[in-house]
Structure 1
Amino acid sequence: MAKKVPLRQCLGCREMMPKSELIRIVRSNDGQFAVDATGKLNGRGAYICKRSECLKKAVGSKALEKAFKVSIPAEVYEQLDKELRDIEE
């Protein structure tokens, strides 16, 4: 029997995609944000496509802030943008 593929929704384009194709953003218990490349860090996670347009949409609609229920510092968005550009190249 085929193994079930876990799906997650991108906060930018709102599409359901396999978890492995998305980037996980984590907020740890102490309030620190990180990009989780392994998908195994502890904390609350939110997912976004590996496209910079999706990050722009998520920032514009404040989707990340709604997902984590806190305001997110600009440095976190800058870090995400940099990492997305590295992936796209």
Structure 2
Amino acid sequence: MVKPRKVPMRKDVLTNEMAPKRLLVRIVRNKEGEVSLDETGKKPGRGAYVGLDPKAVQVAAKKHTLDKIFQCELSDEFYEELYKYVEHQKARLDLFGELGKKH
């Protein structure tokens, strides 16, 4: 009998809800203090996860929520990039179903 694989869960820093890791976007701050999107999930540094909810990202941009989490000032361009990425990933999820699912 094959044992079902454990699904890694992470907390969405914007909603404080737990979700499967692959349904979240990782944002990372490196040693130099640069904050960037981590599409691979493997970049070194302090990471935080954001769910695929464009509205939550818009609210975070208005309140500069991620600035507080990463303890640095993030540009509006960063929030815009995050919004576009989250919106794109959500559209892919809606179109293709689960991301990264092997057939």
Name the TM tier (shorter chain): 0.7 to 0.9
The alignment yields a C-alpha RMSD, in angstroms, of 1.8
The correspondence of residues 33-44 of structure 1 with structure 2, limited to 5 A, is 33-44=35-46
1:23 is matched with which residue? Answer: 25
* Aligned residue identity for 2:49: Y
From the CA coordinates, give the structure whose radius of gyration is larger. Answer: 2
Query: Which stretches in structure 2 are left out of the alignment for 5+ residues?
Result: 92-103
1:21-59 deviation per Cα after TM superposition (whole angstroms, max 9, x unaligned): 100011111122221111111111111111201212333
If the length of structure 1 is used for normalisation, what is the TM-score?
Answer: 0.81
* Aligned residue identity for 1:72: L
Which of the pair has the greater relative contact order for Cα pairs under 8 Å at 6+ separation?
A: 1
| Aligned-partner SS, 1:24 | strand
How many residues in Structure 1 have an aligned counterpart in Structure 2? 89
Query: Which stretches in structure 1 are left out of the alignment for 5+ residues?
Result: none
Structure 2 contact 30–44 (Cα < 8 Å) conserved: yes
Distance (Å, rounded) in 2 between the aligned partners of 1:16 and 1:57: 19
Structure 1 contact 13–57 (Cα < 8 Å) conserved: no
